[in-house]
Amino acid sequence: MADNMSNPGEPEEASSMPLHIQVRETIRRQVKVGELIDKTGRLMTEAELGKHFGVSRITIRNAIKPLVDEGMFERERGRGTFLRTNQPENWVGRLMGFSETIKDAGYQPGAKVLLQGMTNRHDANVRKQLRERAVWQLKRVRFADDIPIAIEHAFYPPDIGLELEKRDLTSIVMYRVFESELGFDIKEATQTISASLADATSAKLLGVKAGSPLLSIERVTVNTDGRPLELLRSVYLPGYFQLSINLTRRHP
């Protein structure tokens, strides 16, 4: 590929990403600093981008589609693809599970179950958040286009867990099952995001070196009646996820 695809700041695992994902993230980075677009916000054509990156037009097309779907760009028939201004880039304010998020970003989601079943061997925070002494747990490696990018460890009240174990846990779309099959009316989720380092187990499952940076997320999802439905703890390869937040300054 062309030299402009390399970036000293990229994580080591980026080289294992499919080519269209590398191109997509490079487009995202370069557009943010005013490259690849003209004064009107019009993005270079697919042919121009293909020449710029030294890749095929189909690779460019696969790279751009998720950026259009998430709202970063807008296609105008007969005019081209234009940068949309003042738009949050990634799923801001939308409560989505892994499968929904990954599909929305243009990947094919997948999973491998590592652990499932009832347990009372959990920390005090799980007990406090779910208000249960024993819980049903589910630990999975999550995939995007067959590449392992996350490890999820989820905890559920026993009655919910016993319902979930009747289903295919490698392809389940969790929140849709909650709403359409189990009859829950999800109200909201509280999510905490932090940085962490891969331990030996996580590194092996995700195909990175021990000590590599990871994005850690803890999320508690509740029903409209205030009942906790899920406590989810996850670690992700940071190259696949980005959170943008609009901040405003309060004036006296």
User: pLDDT of 89-128, one tens digit each?
Assistant: 343 345 777 887 777 666 788 999 999 999 998 889 999 9
Q: pLDDT exceeding 90 applies to what percent of the chain?
A: 54
User: pLDDT of 135-168, one tens digit each?
Assistant: 999 999 999 888 899 999 999 999 999 999 999 9
Per-residue three-class SS string for 205-238: HHCCCCCCEEEEEEEEEEECCCCEEEEEEEEECH
Distances 149 to 6, 109, 136, 174, 218 between C-alpha atoms, Å: 21, 10, 24, 18, 16
- How many angstroms separate the CA atoms of 73 and 60, rounded? 14
> Average pLDDT in the 3-18 region?
48
pTM over 0.85: no
Residue 1: pLDDT band (50, 70, 90) is very low
Report residue 197: phi and psi, to 5°. Answer: -120, 145
Strand partners for 217: 193, 234
pLDDT score for 15:
53
Q: Which residue has the higher pLDDT, 243 or 193?
A: 193
Residue type, 140: R
- How many angstroms separate the CA atoms of 235 and 213, rounded? 10
Residue type, 143: F
The half-sphere exposure of 216 on its side-chain side, counting CA atoms within 13 A, is 10
> Average pLDDT in the 201-226 region?
94
pLDDT score for 191:
87
Report CA Rg, the chain.
Answer: 20
